[in-house]
Structure 1
Amino acid sequence: MSIVTWLLISLLVINTLGAIFTVLRSVRDISTTWAWLLVLLFLPGLGFLIYLFAGRRLSAKKMRLIQAAVAKGSAAFVQLQKRANAHGRLLPTADLTPAAQELINLFLNTARAPVLTNKSVQLYYDGPKKFAALFEDIAKATDYIYVEYYTIYNDALGNQLRDLLIQKAQAGVRVRVLYDAWGSMGASARWWRPLVVAGGQAETYFSSKHLFLDFRLNYRLHRKLVIIDDAIGYIGGFNVGDQYVSRAKKFGFWRDTHLRVMGNTVMALKIQFTSDWNATVSQGQLPYPNRPLAVDQPTSQNAMQIVASGPESSGQQIKAGYVKLITSATKTVWIQTPYLIPDETVYDALMTAALAGIDVRVMIPNMPDHPFIFRATQYYAAQLTAVGVKIYHYQKGFLHAKTMVVDDRLASVGSANLDIRSFKLNFEANAFIYDPTVAHQLTVAFEHDLVESLRLTPKMIAEQSHWLHFKQRFSRLLSPIL
């Protein structure tokens, strides 16, 4: 053999051994391990560059910071629950179904998430109305404004938010902004400088002085929270940018779901933001809230739990909640998600429910925003269709809502998609809702969206090209790391 041949063989052997060592040096689930081996083996050299940015785990130092903040946050949640228990009217039990009580217990045990009631809960389904309400609430703030988003773009809407926050900071309102550096590309520290000059603060979640050497593409801050004056809280799927108010030609109409909450749940949102903020900054940390809860709110109306999950815990709390919701259903499970990449547990729960005669419906977009994720979503949509799950493609625009409604009584709204990334890699936050009135509103919204949707049929799947099937199957192989 020639020198070139020997050199190529040597490089392949080195690449193979390096791939095996790189992947096996960290404990991962088997599907993720095989997915990374596929990337490293079939993309020699390039695969290691991809792994450098997308495959490495959080550093031990950052993991300790997160876990310490989460521990303090959990302690604050426990105290909040004790204050709720001190007023029997605050903890709804008698009026809740056994399924709701079991879900509450699950989150009390896994996430220390207190169940709290509220004076009002408002649902928003389109960006202009949501941001009009948010900006009006911010304009009226007198004490503090805490903002946490995965995406805050440097565009018209993003500048509108930033300029409003600057005005409030200049007026003496405490303004704190937490955002994801990767999700908010363009919203640089320089762009935020006018807010800092005005007296506010804006931080990226786990920013690094050595971005190139320490950059992790995984482990994104995907939560979308706003808390104002201990009175108003927002949680849901909308980010901040022109595309989220339907101004982007690529996506057209943007369909999402967000909650505006007034009541005791605002304290849970504040604790979550405080935990995230204190994990990020070394100076200027925030005290955890400890004010009394309102006792004049209804027993069972608008009750909910704020549940967070992230890679610092192996519990996958939000996924556990999704599975519990699905398995508790007796009539219907209706889901909206932009990405449908379930792991085996969630897939089996959906399949079992459908085969048991439950009306399981999943609504997904009819257009991609990430090509590999879209193809993997198509793959799982076809597989679930084969076992009786009804899949609907939303036609009007881009569907970004992350909702689940079970039996028209229990519901979830938040940032977590029905995909492996949301279960294991991202920092997410969802509201799990025990108010049948709110659940029914989400059911009605789903039914309204059905008019704009096309149901996937076995005939449509059979007519797809061989090339499309190949792309779907290949993307599915990468699904644990997408």
Structure 2
Amino acid sequence: MTLSMEFAAMPPAPGERPSHQQLLVMPDDGAEAVVALIDGAAETLRLKQFKLQSPTIEQALRRAHQRGVEVRVMLNPHTSGGDRWNDEAYAQLQEWGIQVAWTSEAFPVTHEKSLVVDRSCALISTFNLSDKYFTQTRDYGIVSHAPAVVEQVIAGFEADWNRSFFHPDLGVGLVWSSVHSRGQMARIIDMASQTLWIQHPKFVDAVILERIISARERGVKVRLLCGGKHGISDWDIYDTFSSLRVMERFGVKVRRQKHLKLHAKLLLVDGAFAQTGSMNIDRSAFDLRRELGIESDAPEVVARLRSTFEADWAAAKKYHAPDPLDPSLHEAGELPPDPHFVHD
């Protein structure tokens, strides 16, 4: 497998930072891990978010602003269903004198979840900055210190802030929508030679479905952790349940996440390479929305992702998706419906 310079880090010398990347796992690390990043800002903070509903995070942004950090925040104005989750946070930040704007109108939804601290590190996550995602959901975030990655996340922020075009270099290890994220995800799946572990809630794209089945046909052992129906819209149930049933017929081992709500988006290839980020396996996520993901082969990151997946897999039970055309079967074993937990 050929890796970009972002992934070619040598083992650190004694006393040096242990990795060019660090992994955050939710709910294990909690809001405190994000607050620590914000509290470490000395000059600038750039935050782009699908949902901001955490007083703890908002107060950290306020503290940064009060100590002279230039804080700029972009919030998604509404979900695809029309919910305006961010109006309260937007008004609060404005009241404190923090620069805040709605995300670019070039995208019907901005689902990206990123934070850049000074020009030193960038957090790319699957979790929203909302208390629910710090306490109830399985989610991941990768903090990258690689200059090329940090500068590209900054460039993406500035382009959306200024409503200008953005043409990212796809070779630095970031995965952008709507640029070529479907192709980048397909490439990662195509690299698998031994194992492919998938932790995703939603399966609404025929190209990725075919790639996963092709991996299975060439002998790759595929494990898939899904979330069942929970958080899946009535519209997306048809594709998601059908895709899970088709993959199971081809020998993909499917289990349903237990105890935690599944919000993570993770691919683990051969236990050595990972891709995570905001995009669901969904046509709209690939083709219409602003999304951001990141790739990693940092040993510490991959090892923790692997151990977290293994623990979740061990706690989960085999899942056979019900017939999507029979709603009477859809609720078996499901978590109670939550209108504020939807895979947009």
- One-letter code of the match for 1:100? T
Identical-pair percentage: 22
1:266-317, CA deviations, whole angstroms, 9 ceiling, x for partnerless residues?
223222222222227xxxxxxxxxxxxxxxxxxxxxx96122121xx5xxx1
Task: Specify the SS of the correspondent of 1:147.
Answer: strand
- One-letter code of the match for 2:212? L
Q: For 1:180-329, what aligned pairs fall within 5 Å after superposition?
A: 180-183=76-79, 185-188=84-87, 191-206=89-104, 219-246=108-135, 253-264=136-147, 265-279=149-163, 305-310=173-178, 313=179, 317-329=180-192
8 Å contact from structure 1 (residues 368, 374) kept in 2: no
8 Å contact from structure 1 (residues 367, 398) kept in 2: no
- One-letter code of the match for 1:178? M
Question: 1:163 is matched with which residue?
Answer: 59
Q: Give RMSD over aligned pairs.
A: 2.9
8 Å contact from structure 1 (residues 117, 263) kept in 2: no
Question: 2:13 is matched with which residue?
Answer: none
Question: 1:420 is matched with which residue?
Answer: 283
In 2, distance between residues paired with 1:229 and 1:394?
Answer: 36
Once the two structures are TM-superposed, the CA of residue 175 in structure 1 deviates from its matched residue by 0.4
Once the two structures are TM-superposed, the CA of residue 414 in structure 1 deviates from its matched residue by 0.8
Once the two structures are TM-superposed, the CA of residue 441 in structure 1 deviates from its matched residue by 2.7
Cα 1:445–1:470 shift into 2, 3 Å:
closer
Cα 1:389–1:179 shift into 2, 3 Å:
same
- One-letter code of the match for 1:262? H
Once the two structures are TM-superposed, the CA of residue 456 in structure 1 deviates from its matched residue by 2.6
In 2, distance between residues paired with 1:465 and 1:362?
Answer: 19
Cα 1:140–1:434 shift into 2, 3 Å:
closer
Q: Which runs of 5+ in 1 are unaligned?
A: 1-98, 105-113, 208-215, 247-252, 281-302, 473-481
1:327-378, CA deviations, whole angstroms, 9 ceiling, x for partnerless residues?
22110111111212222x2122111111221111221113421332245322
8 Å contact from structure 1 (residues 385, 456) kept in 2: no
1:419-464, CA deviations, whole angstroms, 9 ceiling, x for partnerless residues?
222111221111112334432332222111112211235xx75xx6
In 1, distance between residues paired with 2:329 and 2:108?
Answer: 29
8 Å contact from structure 1 (residues 366, 398) kept in 2: no
Q: For 1:27-38, what aligned pairs fall within 5 Å after superposition?
A: none
Task: Determine which of 196, 201, 222 is the counterpart of 1:360.
Answer: 222
- 2:326 maps to 1:467: yes
Q: Which runs of 5+ in 2 are unaligned?
A: 10-16, 165-170, 332-343
TM-score normalised according to structure 1 size: 0.59
Once the two structures are TM-superposed, the CA of residue 130 in structure 1 deviates from its matched residue by 4.2
Cα 1:430–1:203 shift into 2, 3 Å:
same
Task: Specify the SS of the correspondent of 1:441.
Answer: helix
In 2, distance between residues paired with 1:125 and 1:401?
Answer: 10
Question: 1:138 is matched with which residue?
Answer: 38
Cα 1:235–1:320 shift into 2, 3 Å:
same
Task: Determine which of 363, 371, 374 is the counterpart of 2:233.
Answer: 371
1:90-135, CA deviations, whole angstroms, 9 ceiling, x for partnerless residues?
xxxxxxxxx234xx5xxxxxxxxx7466753221221462420211
Cα 1:361–1:192 shift into 2, 3 Å:
same
Task: Specify the SS of the correspondent of 1:438.
Answer: helix
Cα 1:447–1:348 shift into 2, 3 Å:
same
8 Å contact from structure 2 (residues 75, 90) kept in 1: no
Question: 1:40 is matched with which residue?
Answer: none
TM-score normalised according to structure 2 size: 0.81
Once the two structures are TM-superposed, the CA of residue 186 in structure 1 deviates from its matched residue by 4.0
Task: Specify the SS of the correspondent of 2:254.
Answer: strand
* Equivalent residue pairs, number: 313
8 Å contact from structure 1 (residues 149, 240) kept in 2: yes
Task: Specify the SS of the correspondent of 1:347.
Answer: helix
Larger proportion of helix: 1
In 2, distance between residues paired with 1:278 and 1:323?
Answer: 31
Cα 1:469–1:323 shift into 2, 3 Å:
farther
- One-letter code of the match for 1:266? V
- One-letter code of the match for 1:200? I
Cα 1:199–1:172 shift into 2, 3 Å:
farther
Larger proportion of strand: 2
8 Å contact from structure 2 (residues 242, 324) kept in 1: no
8 Å contact from structure 2 (residues 24, 33) kept in 1: no
Task: Determine which of 170, 176, 198 is the counterpart of 2:72.
Answer: 176
In 2, distance between residues paired with 1:163 and 1:267?
Answer: 26
Cα 1:396–1:143 shift into 2, 3 Å:
same
